[in-house]
Amino acid sequence: MVQCPVSTLFKMKKNLIIQIVIFFSMTTSAQIISTPDKIYGQLFTDVQLAKIFPDGKTFVDCVPKRNPKQIVADYLKIKKNPAIRFSLKRFVEENFELPAAPQLNYVTKETDVKEHINNLWNVLKREKDKAVTGSSLLPLPNSYIVPGGRFHEIYYWDSYFTMLGLKESKEYDLIENMVKNFAYLINTFGHVPNGNRSYYLTRSQPPYFSLMVKLLADIKGEQVYKEFLPALQKEYDYWMLGASTVKPGQAFKSVVKLKDGTILNRYWDESTTARQESYRDDIETADEAVKHMLASTTFADGKKAETAAKKLRLKLYRDLRAGAASGWDFSSRWLADGQHLSTIQTTDILPIDLNCLLLNLERTLEEAYRISGKENLRKQYNTLAYKREQSFRNVFSCAELHYYSDYNFVTKKSTGIAAASSVMIVSYLTEPNPEGMIGHGNSTAAFIRKYLLKEGGILSTAVSTTQQWDAPNGWAPLQWIAVTTLEQTGQKELAKEIAMRWIKLNKEVFARTGKLMEKYNVVDTHLEAGGGEYAGQDGFGWTNGVLLALMNKYKIK
């Protein structure tokens, strides 16, 4: 036996200790916070599979009226006694406070939509939270705005577009509180969760924190960049984890390194189980995918078929979760056949919007380090931003569309989906002269007019499916992205045209219903938007924010 010298053993032991310390330092609270499935076990499974509530989100948002352990013990005792007849729904209602939609208590009396929005801020506002044992809500230390409807918590990318309206309403303190909340989430969990719920901790959403910081800096001054620099850096580290070690042609979590060494990002979720808030739906989707695979594939024996089915199910659950992380849950952007949710492949795709937002984060870090006087770090992020931007033209160019589209790094092909998210890219491409930006503006205008422009604004995608982020639906954040991008590239006429169509649609629906909706049918403006996993919601945070910002931008009363 070869014996190691004492010094070598000491070094090995020291390195092992360092690695253990690093591991535990990276282990966030997300891994020790109990989620509804862990807290309620069999009760959670039974409630979600029985679908005693039309919306799978209802039970996971319930608040227990007493100790959760005692509730579970009582449930199992009743369940195991065949002599006891009981209603599962009644048991839940007796032991939990069900979530209510606060805005339903608000009766719209305003006829002026701006007045309505300004009054709604107080309806949608939540003060700092208190922790409740057994609740899935992650308490936030400052006040914030929720979207409305079934959504009783903050959502990451929603909040930026809500803040646009808060700025118009001069709710500056509330904007600052919300930015502080997101910094708190980053510092506590290492990233901004999809929303402040325990069951959202395994994923994030489109990273708009850097734009939130800029919004606040425009109000309070550039010192804001220094104040939130640690949180900006930590968020970047979250998205780029593994970038220095992943090999060409491989992926690690959110990071993908192409064969030529180009590093870009994808949406990701740490879990491979059915989403707790859509538990039964995800299981049914996975069942459909497995059924199709078994019917179309020949296996040598049952064991191999079982292994393949398990592998497919785990991949599908992660892709459904990653689709939710994208904020586009769900869309033909993520579907292999462009139609069926059972073909979802989100983690195979490099999305344009995500990579634009990370480029913005790199440029924001560059600016923050400049303000902080850290020139070496400023140069580092200038280089990273330059490299990411240079990759955009090669990776995202789509000959079929004569524009840009998401890229499937597994098939090594453009997805060819005409989506409003692609429009964002041209505002991040720097050009040596004005003619370059004019060219981007012309191609963007042609793309929008050919594929996306409709009576009520622009479509999410040009593809019609049963998913809510496809035709015929339009969403507020996509209108804002299109309008601001067209403005930046000299297409002011089309920018205003889209804004006017969207404003008109929002105001007409408000006049008919007294509501501002989560999404709209932009093809037939007399019909409601549809599709997706739940009914249309009113409230609505980002619709209010974008509408108010657009109306003020174009001086519409």
Q: Which residues are annotated as catalytic?
A: 329, 518
368, 30, 61, 87: which is closest to 203 by C-alpha? 30
506, 514, 492, 487: which is closest to 556 by C-alpha? 506
Residue 246 burial by CB count (10 A; 0-12/13-18/19+): exposed, middle or buried?
Answer: middle
310 vs 322: CA distance, rounded Å: 18
Which pair of structure tokens corresponds to residue 335? 């579907």
49 vs 281: CA distance, rounded Å: 9
- The answer to whether 461 touches 419, Cβ cutoff 8 Å, is yes
Q: What is the DSSP letter of 328?
A: -
231 vs 11: CA distance, rounded Å: 34
124, 76, 18: which is closest to 538 by C-alpha? 124
Q: Is the peptide bond before 151 cis (omega within 30 degrees of 0)?
A: no
- The answer to whether 387 touches 366, Cβ cutoff 8 Å, is no
How many other CB atoms are found less than 10 A from the CB of residue 13?
A: 10
522 vs 420: CA distance, rounded Å: 13
541, 551, 534: which is closest to 145 by C-alpha? 541
Which pair of structure tokens corresponds to residue 198? 């325990």
- The answer to whether 532 touches 462, Cβ cutoff 8 Å, is no
Distance of CA 334 to the CA centre of its chain: 14
Q: Which residues on neighbouring strands pair with residue 126, listed in sequence order?
A: 144
